[in-house]
Amino acid sequence: MYRGAERFRAIATSLVRTAGFAAVYAAAIMVGRLTVVADTRLALVWPASGVAAAWLCSRRRSRAWWVDAAALTAIAWAGNAVTGAGLALSGVLAVANLAMAVMFMWLLGRLRPTLWGGGGSRRLSSGWELGSLLGVAIVAAAVGAVIGLTGLWLITGHGSSIMLADWMARHVTGMFVIGSAGLWFGRVFAGMAARSTSPRWWWRTLDGAVRAMPGRRVGEYLAVVVGSVLAYLVGFVYDGGLPLAFPLIAVTVWAALRLCTNFVVLHNLALGGVAVLCTWCGMGPLAAVGDPYVRALVAQLFVLLITTVGLILALGRDERAELLAALTAQKEQAARHGALMDAIIDSMADGLSLVDAEGRVVLRNPAGKRLFGAAATVGEAGRRMRHLDGSPVTADALPTARALAGEKTGPVDLLVMDPDSQDTRVVRVCATPLPDGEGARRAVVLYQDVTAERRHRDQLAGFAGSVAHDLQNPLTTVEGWTEVATDALDTAGAGPGLDRARDSLGRVTRAAARMRGLITDLLVYTAARDEDLTPARVDLTDLVDDIAAARTDAAIASGEPAPRVTVGELDPVHADAAAVRQLLDNLVGNAIKYTGAGVTPQVSVTSIGLGDMVQVTVADNGIGIPAGQHEAIFDDFHRAHPGTGYTGTGLGLAICHRIATRHGGGITAHDNPGGGSRFIFTLPATDRLGALAEVAAPLILPTAPAGASRPAPTIATLAHAA
């Protein structure tokens, strides 16, 4: 029931619109027929072509648009026939009018599908769209000319080039002037009808808009209206026989440049209608043209001219206004965004600097000013930077210089001298290249003051080392007395109580062994961190052979499969021999330990030279590294295989990382393509003499691995690991 009522209402609304357009179209035909030039069959104006185009465009999406087309054809035939055009000629002219309207609708939908009437919802907004509308009108008028003038020639025998020109001018003007007005106001009326169909609501809306208009603007509207009336009175009525039509364009330009486009469209219609009416009545400069065809042609061109000029100026003004509004909105948004970014940057606890391609600091937040003072260039700030061992940082090694060269630098810890004192701070620096889109480079540099963090961490590490050292004596006592108690129980015979005692002492012995391993690793960890390095030439081949022999003897003594260690011809390095031994022994030991049950460990150690560094690879056939843990395994106390029967403290690889980074190299973990793991580390080559001056010198502050920020061991982590 409800759907039926809705459908009936929709059909009724559609019929009302069809009837309304039919009435307007019939009136337009009557107006056109009233302006037929004497002794000819052609009208001075033909607004019906424009009404027909707007009619079909507005009904484009209606399923019953064929009803509108049929009504249009019938009205055109009847209107021409009633006014004396004859039945045959009226039929031809009706078909020509329908063809023009259909062609106009189709072309507009193809060229401007987003416009109202073309299938979209926008109204005319630019000169290009207005030009498209004029082109559509010309093509549609040409189609109508082929049908209409051919029929006129066949029926009456009349035909000439001036008649063709007059036809084209009349129908192009009608479709362009009336059609543009229909498309413009059609969208407005459609939007208003969607909100309310009450005429009272429309009137209140219009009245509210007028009341909200400033008095000066109302006065200008009245001035344009009065000026237009006076200009056309002078130009067409009281012209004194003078050709005064050309100054009339001035009022069109005035309205188009100053007043709203709705008024301009109505103003163009009014002025065009007045010009045609005066010419038809024999007044004005256009009526002085003797040839009726030329008179009609000139009148149409005049109307077309003032409409085109008015709309182009008005739409161009609207387009500029929209662009300026959009630009203003973007500027305001950019200003708000910039103010927000400034507030965020200024509130940062870390320093931030923006450096241009010449090394000038163009932006620095308050935190950066506190760290570096008023330094205006990278060079000024760089002169206060030192490596952690106190050695100067060369200009090309500064993180900012590397970023300007296109390299993104990770966190690097540097010493920075305070600008107003001799105190030093440890600053973690990150620099990122920032292209500006024009080929030049800039760099964003972040500074984080980590002085307190490092000192606190160093104190904890020192405390942990001291605790580990001091725990050795009581642990030795525990182990000694446990051994004595075990020997005493062995000589006491057997019994349930004695067996339980032996089991308990075995547990104590194993716990003491684990604690001994933890303390040993902690001491090695502290030594790898804090002790001074003594770099010298180290023959890696002999060193690995010695480690492999020791590991093989240990495996045979414990009844396990002897590992197969393959050692290539290794490049010598310039490093601390004891530290490098610890590094390689940990890696080879891990490769042997983390091997599946029943599998003979196979370890391969190779090296290649990379300039002033040597890259060493230790590959195995073990159980491998779990996914996602290839970086975490170098953290303190991290165990990749907990609860799988593989014992350890989680410090072995942390020690390896510490040793490699203290020598200026690094270490990474990878999956071995043949199964197992590959550890790759770098150490200085032997020809890098003096490159390790910073390593051999005592450290001002204990260093951390480059790019790492892992905490030092604490009492809680020691207890958990034990």
The pLDDT score that the predictor gives to residue 527 is 52
The pLDDT score that the predictor gives to residue 642 is 61
Q: Do 589 and 517 form a contact (C-beta atoms < 8 A)?
A: no
Q: Do 637 and 649 form a contact (C-beta atoms < 8 A)?
A: yes
- Residue 691 binned pLDDT confidence (cut-offs 50, 70, 90): very low
The pLDDT score that the predictor gives to residue 713 is 39
Q: Residues 346-392: pLDDT tens digits?
A: 888 788 888 888 788 888 888 877 777 766 677 777 777 877 767 77
Q: Do 684 and 574 form a contact (C-beta atoms < 8 A)?
A: yes
Helix axes 249-258, 292-347, angle to 10 degrees: 20
Give the Cα separation of 51 and 29 in Å (integer).
Answer: 9
- DSSP letters along 439-462, please? S-EEEEEEEEE-HHHHHHHHHHHH
- 3 state DSSP class of 668: strand
What angle is formed at CA 549 by the lines to CA 545 and CA 555, rounded to 5 degrees?
Answer: 145
3-state secondary structure 588-628: HHHHHHCCCCCCCCEEEEEEEEECCEEEEEEEECCCCCCCC
Lowest mean pLDDT: which of 226-230, 267-271, 648-652?
648-652
Give the Cα separation of 693 and 390 in Å (integer).
Answer: 11
| Rg of the chain over all Cα atoms, to the nearest angstrom | 48
User: How many other C-beta atoms lie within 10 A of the C-beta of residue 569?
Assistant: 8
Which conformational region is residue 437 in: left (phi greater than 0), alpha (psi within -120 to 50 degrees), or beta? left
* C-alpha neighbours within 13 Å on the C-beta side of residue 252: 24
Residue 290 has pLDDT above 80, yes or no: no
Give the Cα separation of 712 and 464 in Å (integer).
Answer: 8
The pLDDT score that the predictor gives to residue 622 is 86
User: How many other C-beta atoms lie within 10 A of the C-beta of residue 438?
Assistant: 5
Tokens standing for residue 603 = 């370890």
Mean pLDDT of 311-334: 90
The pLDDT score that the predictor gives to residue 182 is 85
Q: Do 307 and 314 form a contact (C-beta atoms < 8 A)?
A: no
Give the Cα separation of 413 and 351 in Å (integer).
Answer: 14
Give the Cα separation of 472 and 197 in Å (integer).
Answer: 97
Give the Cα separation of 523 and 472 in Å (integer).
Answer: 10
User: Quick one: which H or E segment has residue 465?
Assistant: helix 451-470
The pLDDT score that the predictor gives to residue 246 is 66
The pLDDT score that the predictor gives to residue 158 is 75
Give the Cα separation of 619 and 602 in Å (integer).
Answer: 8
> At which residue do the structure tokens 């063809």 appear?
99
- 3 state DSSP class of 681: strand
Closest to 138 measured CA to CA, from 105, 163, 173, 114: 173
Average pLDDT of every residue of the chain: 77
Q: Residues 621-654: pLDDT tens digits?
A: 888 888 777 887 887 666 665 655 565 667 778 8
User: How many other C-beta atoms lie within 10 A of the C-beta of residue 560?
Assistant: 13
- Residue 722 binned pLDDT confidence (cut-offs 50, 70, 90): very low
The pLDDT score that the predictor gives to residue 618 is 92
The pLDDT score that the predictor gives to residue 530 is 54
Give the Cα separation of 254 and 310 in Å (integer).
Answer: 9
- 3 state DSSP class of 495: coil
How far is it between the farthest Cα atoms of the chain?
A: 149
For the CA atoms of 151, 157, 162, 165, the dihedral, rounded to the nearest 10 degrees, stands at: 0
The pLDDT score that the predictor gives to residue 103 is 93
Q: Residues 4-56: pLDDT tens digits?
A: 666 666 677 777 788 888 898 888 888 887 777 656 556 777 888 889 988 88
Lowest mean pLDDT: which of 153-162, 338-347, 411-420, 619-628?
411-420
Q: Residues 517-558: pLDDT tens digits?
A: 556 655 555 555 555 667 888 899 988 988 888 888 878 877
Q: Do 671 and 624 form a contact (C-beta atoms < 8 A)?
A: yes
Which conformational region is residue 119 in: left (phi greater than 0), alpha (psi within -120 to 50 degrees), or beta? left
Q: Do 448 and 454 form a contact (C-beta atoms < 8 A)?
A: no
| Phi, psi dihedral angles at 548 (to 5 degrees) | -65, -40
- DSSP letters along 25-70, please? HHHHHHHHHHTBPTTSS-BS--HHHHHHHHHHHHTTT-TTHHHHHH
Q: Residues 50-77: pLDDT tens digits?
A: 899 888 888 887 777 788 888 888 998 8
Residue 175's Cα: distance from chain center in Å? 45
Check residues 206 and 303 and name the one with the higher pLDDT.
Answer: 303
The pLDDT score that the predictor gives to residue 102 is 92
Helix-strand-coil percent breakdown of the chain, rounded to 5?
60, 15, 25
Going by the DSSP 8-state scheme, the letter that residue 123 receives in this structure is -
Closest to 386 measured CA to CA, from 433, 429, 354: 429
Q: Which range has highest mean pLDDT (292-301, 368-377, 564-573)?
A: 564-573
Q: Do 563 and 601 form a contact (C-beta atoms < 8 A)?
A: yes
> At which residue do the structure tokens 């106009």 appear?
104
- Residue 707 binned pLDDT confidence (cut-offs 50, 70, 90): very low
Give the Cα separation of 581 and 543 in Å (integer).
Answer: 7
The pLDDT score that the predictor gives to residue 359 is 80
The pLDDT score that the predictor gives to residue 720 is 35
The pLDDT score that the predictor gives to residue 140 is 93
Mean pLDDT of 657-669: 87
Q: Do 235 and 244 form a contact (C-beta atoms < 8 A)?
A: yes
Mean pLDDT of 262-285: 84
Give the Cα separation of 677 and 665 in Å (integer).
Answer: 20
**For the chain, what is the total number of helices (H) and then of strands (E)?**
23, 13
Residue 617 has pLDDT above 70, yes or no: yes
Mean pLDDT of 80-85: 74
Residue 566 has pLDDT above 50, yes or no: yes
Q: Do 93 and 146 form a contact (C-beta atoms < 8 A)?
A: no
Tokens standing for residue 76 = 């055109």
Q: What percent of the chain has pLDDT over 90?
A: 8
Q: Do 178 and 263 form a contact (C-beta atoms < 8 A)?
A: no
Mean pLDDT of 437-448: 78
Tokens standing for residue 310 = 């008015």
Q: Do 90 and 278 form a contact (C-beta atoms < 8 A)?
A: no
Q: Do 403 and 713 form a contact (C-beta atoms < 8 A)?
A: no
**Per-residue CA distances from 391 to 382, 410, 420, 534 (Å):** 12, 20, 20, 17
Q: Residues 233-253: pLDDT tens digits?
A: 887 877 666 666 667 788 888
Closest to 659 measured CA to CA, from 677, 638, 689, 679: 679
Contacts of 673 (CB under 8 A, 6+ apart): none
Give the Cα separation of 152 and 90 in Å (integer).
Answer: 10
Residue 413 has pLDDT above 90, yes or no: no
Tokens standing for residue 314 = 């008005």
Residue 710 has pLDDT above 50, yes or no: no
